Amino acid sequence: MTSGKEHDKSTKRWSIPFALLIGVLIDAKSGLISGTAFLTGGLWLSPDLDTHSLALKRWGFLKILWWPYQKVIRHRSIFSHGPFIGTSVRVGYLLVLSMILIFFIKPIGFSSVLSAANFISKAVKQYPKDYLAVLLGLEASAWLHIIKDGDPMPQRWAKRRHK
């Protein structure tokens, strides 16, 4: 199992090669976006947000936002460390928090604020390549984390599959 400091070093070390790869495969702008998303995913949206990790500490006083997530998601479960699923759960969780925030600020005069779902829908339609670059970066950083933990399929899942 890799330490938080090692995860951070790996994320920083691999962000530029990943950005260059996406830059070559898609274009320079997508490479920059994807590399930034890779860093964000590895340093702030880590699969370890369900523990008292370095990623959680980076949120500062906002780390309280992750408390419900920590209570519901078991560490190294398919919902935290699962390829595709873990990233989707963390991003979805942030979207739900955004929608709750919008729900509460609308009545106090912020009615012009777009709902999170509307905003994302418009952004995806208007900037599909950028959206893809963000998703690639976030998911690639999660894969790096899982691989650095030593097993892209945590032992708990493997035991369940063989029963």
- The DSSP string of 77-124 is SHHHHSTTHHHHHHHHHHHHHHHHHHHHHGGGT-TTSPPHHHHHHHHH
DSSP 2: -
pLDDT for position 96:
87
CB neighbour burial string for 36-63, b if at least 16 within 10 angstroms, e if fewer: ebbbbbbbebbbbbbbebbbbeeeeeeb
Instruction: Say if CB 139 and CB 85 are below 8 A apart.
Output: no
Q: Kindly report the pTM of this predicted structure.
A: 0.84
Q: Would you give the end-to-end CA distance of the chain in angstroms? A: 24
Give me the helix-helix angle, 128-148 and 28-43, nearest 10°: 40
Cα–Cα distances (Å) from 60 to 41, 52, 56, 105, in that order, read: 16, 12, 8, 22
Residue % of the chain over a pLDDT of 90: 63
- The span from the CA of 63 to the CA of 121, in Å, is 27
pLDDT for position 1:
59
pLDDT tens, residue by residue, 104-145: 776 665 555 556 667 778 888 999 999 999 999 999 999 999
